[in-house]
Amino acid sequence: MTKSNFLLVDLNEAKTKKLAETITSDTSRKILNFLVEKNDSEQNIAKSLNIPISTVHYHLQKLQEAGLVIVKEFHYSEKGREVNHYQLANKYIIIAPKNVSGLRKKLRGILPGGLVILGISAIIKLLTSSSEIFSATPPTAEMALKDSVESLAASVPVSAPMEAIPSPDIALWFLLGGVSMMILYLAYQVIMENIKK
């Protein structure tokens, strides 16, 4: 299971109200501050903060529901019960309005496409670079043939030296084409939205 570092909440969601109630509680904030320093069990948190264990249990449940605290691991007590160890969920809380309008919404919609284009460009660059490295060292039979052709060509007078034609950077062209298509798509979306209004 992947862990997200961001907790995106909408102002209109019920979850936002629970989150606000949780983080405005002094006890919850004390527990959060304690967990910044180290992961621990309910009993140790209660002892360290001098808070009744039932209160700590209640607030830890609320913090878990809000997505701010998770159970990292557990151990068994002498009586054979599971004792959970709590830790911060390492999340940044982003509170956003439900409808982000205009250009920002469109940009947010095409951002994944931009990241995909950038990733594919990087892969193409890596593949073309590695193929150039492997093709840079020809086999010995080819080297002998090349040397003989060069010595023969040296005896023939040439009016102007030929320059090597550089190969096109495919990754750069792919990136430029992808970005251009995204800009055109974005412009099309904005124009269509304005026409509808």
| pLDDT tens string 62-116 | 888 888 888 877 777 777 777 788 888 866 666 665 554 555 666 667 777 777 8
Among 177, 190, 15, 176, residue whose Cα is nearest residue 109:
190
State residue 185's pLDDT score. 83
The burial of 38, by beta-carbon neighbours within 10 Å (0-12 exposed, 13-18 middle, 19 or more buried), is given as exposed
- Residue 173 tokens read as 């062209």
State the virtual CA torsion across 16, 21, 26, 31 in degrees, nearest 10.
-60
CB 28 within 8 A of CB 59: yes
Which residue type, as a one-letter code, is found at position 108?
Answer: R
What domains lie within the chain, and their CATH numbers?
A: 6-96 (1.10.10.10), 103-145+167-196 (no CATH)
Place of tokens 């969920």: 89
How many CA atoms, within 13 angstroms, populate the side-chain half-sphere of residue 19?
19
Give the relative orientation of helices 14-23 and 53-65 as an angle to the nearest 10 degrees: 140
Q: pLDDT tens, 24-70?
A: 888 888 888 888 888 888 888 899 899 998 998 999 888 888 888 88
pTM of this structure? 0.45
Reported residue count of the chain is: 197
**Closest alpha carbon to 66 in 103, 97, 28:** 28
Q: Which residues have CB under 8 Å from 117's CB, separation 6+?
A: 174, 175, 178, 179, 182
